Homo-oligomer: A and B are copies of this chain.
Amino acid sequence: MSLPSFDDVCRAQDRIAPWIHRTPVLTSETFDAMSCAQLFFKCENFQKAGAFKSRGAVNAVFGLSETEAKRGVATHSSGNHGMALARAAACRGIDCTVVMPETAPQPKIDAVRGYGGQIVFCEPRNAARQETLDAVIADSGANFVPPYDDARVIAGQGSCAKELLEDVPDLDIVIAPVGGGGLISGTALSARALSPATRVIAAEPANADDAKRSREAGERLVEDAPNTIADGLKASLGELTWQFVATEIDDILLADEAEIVEAMRLTWQRMKIIIEPSCAVPLAAILRHRDVFADKRVGVILTGGNVDLQRLPWA
């Protein structure tokens, strides 16, 4: 597997432009005052299918040859990547199968089906997930589009920071959450190429801090089933994304569960926008580590807004 380059990000940006939103950048005097920084929020919660994941999914789907595309795509996901891939496949008019655990929440199941995706359920174990996906692919010949450890996906996610740096050029810091690492890897690619002086910081739940511990250990550590409200960040780094996290980002900052919930609630209350728990981790990290951000111009990637409105963490 080879690493994507910034040229791949540029090609991805052109390829996906007709199928995604160029999302707006919002500011908030309240959060500027709270952080003593100037924050620029890149609103991927307004992205197609409600999350930045549409970028990588569309890039992968529209990068397939005609022959490949005819066989459709498949993935495993209980979250935003499955929705984004189902939508991307529908845009191209090809089949999409998503392997999901039987325990997946009903809103996620409905969303995948709403975009026309087929769901194959598996037992809620990692091994079962892979076996089920292998069987789907053996049967249909579908192209596997991994949720993050994939050059096409990383390049697609990199288009988000590229847009942000085009719209707000002179950022001192750009911060994004790290789970599997696709977004932070693409973010590092774009920042290094477009704005070498910009520091790239990852934000991670303290309860799922495999990326931070991997950097400290100097090797990729895999965490089994961490427990955090930031459910989009439970995945561990992959082989490709580890290489970016190991060498291309400047720091990883943690936030605990209560801080994540409070940052999410504050964002709803003050910015009047819906963000999901994973999306609140960078702001939580900023408010916890104010010294790092004071007097800086900071780009904050708001990753997604897919929330079950019946189950809010503060209710």
Contact surface of A with B, Cβ cutoff 8 Å: 24, 26, 45-46, 50, 265, 268-269, 271-275, 305, 309-310, 312, 314-315
Apart from A50-B272, A265-B309, A309-B312, what are 8 other A-B pairs with CB-CB below 8 Å?
A: A24-B24, A45-B272, A269-B309, A272-B273, A274-B274, A310-B315, A312-B312, A315-B315
**Distance in Å from the Cβ of A255 to the closest Cβ of chain B?**
20
Q: Which residues of B contact A315 (CB under 8 A)?
A: 310, 312, 315
Q: Which residues of B contact A26 (CB under 8 A)?
A: 46
Q: Given B24, B272, B309, which contacts A314 in the complex, CB threshold below 8 Å?
A: B309
Complex contact A309–B268 (CB within 8 A): yes
Number of identical protomers: 2
Complex contact B272–A268 (CB within 8 A): no
Complex CA gap A309/B269 in Å reads 7
Q: Which residues of B contact A45 (CB under 8 A)?
A: 272
Q: Which residues of B contact A268 (CB under 8 A)?
A: 274, 309
Complex CA gap A312/B310 in Å reads 9
Complex CA gap A46/B273 in Å reads 9
**Distance in Å from the Cβ of A309 to the closest Cβ of chain B?**
6
**Shortest Cβ-Cβ A-B pairs, 6 listed:** A272-B305, A272-B274, A45-B272, A273-B273, A268-B274, A46-B272
Residue of B nearest to A27 (CB): B21
Subset of 11 A-B contacts with CB under 8 Å? A46-B271, A46-B272, A268-B274, A268-B309, A269-B274, A272-B274, A272-B275, A309-B314, A310-B315, A312-B312, A312-B315
Q: Which residues of B contact A50 (CB under 8 A)?
A: 272
